[in-house]
Amino acid sequence: MTKRNLIDLLKHRLAGGDCPQELKGKYHPKILEKHIEIVQNYLIKTVAYREAEKQNDWGLLDAYTKTYPNVAVNFDEERNEYYCDIPISIVDLPQNRGIRFISDRQNQAVQYIYRDNNSVDIFSNLDIDRVSTKPRWYRESDKVFFSRHLSSLINGVLMKLIPAFSSLEDNDEVSIPSAYAKSIFDLVFQSLMGMPPEKMSNDNNSNVP
């Protein structure tokens, strides 16, 4: 289902007989979009992330990923570091797993290596820092900074990110954890009525903490 399809179906449900009376015909599409984002972000952060963690299979998060093939790389002269702006709002996950992948634009075999923001001294003292030529990256707010291994000839990178709902284009496919595919509308209704995410998920799936 595309983003536009989901919003249109929700608008249709809000005008229908099975919608709570206090919600009927009240909400602008931008408000609906925000509440869909609240629900989707929560489900990705809890249901999808925890399932990937449980199975030790982070590839399960790829279902929610979109590729951005040419993100411009800039140079910060004060810090003497290359960086790029994260081009969209992403779903923030532990260990920055909302950023799924970074590589050269035309060579995904050269996958850059994630490191924690505060581990630069540790990495610089490891043999891998001297032997491996793969760039490393770390995140600061809405930017990604790269290690000295990044060639000055690189002016753009390929990024695979988990977009927030508001960052999707109208024709982008929307992925929802399968257990919630049929109840997404009810969850959004509950969000519109001010019910917190924890209450929404527990009411719709007793297996989610």
User: Mean pLDDT in runs of 10 for the chain (209 residues)?
Assistant: 92 73 72 92 94 96 97 95 97 96 93 78 51 82 91 92 97 92 87 72 53
Place of tokens 């790389």: 73
Largest alpha-carbon pair distance within the chain?
A: 66
Cα separation, 183 vs 203, whole angstroms: 10
Cα separation, 8 vs 171, whole angstroms: 12
pLDDT score of 194:
84
pLDDT score of 83:
97
The whole-model pTM stands at 0.85
Cα separation, 113 vs 136, whole angstroms: 4
Tokens encoding 75: 């140079």
Cα separation, 61 vs 181, whole angstroms: 16
pLDDT score of 205:
58
For every residue of 74-90, DSSP letters joined together read: EEETTTTEEEEE--S-B
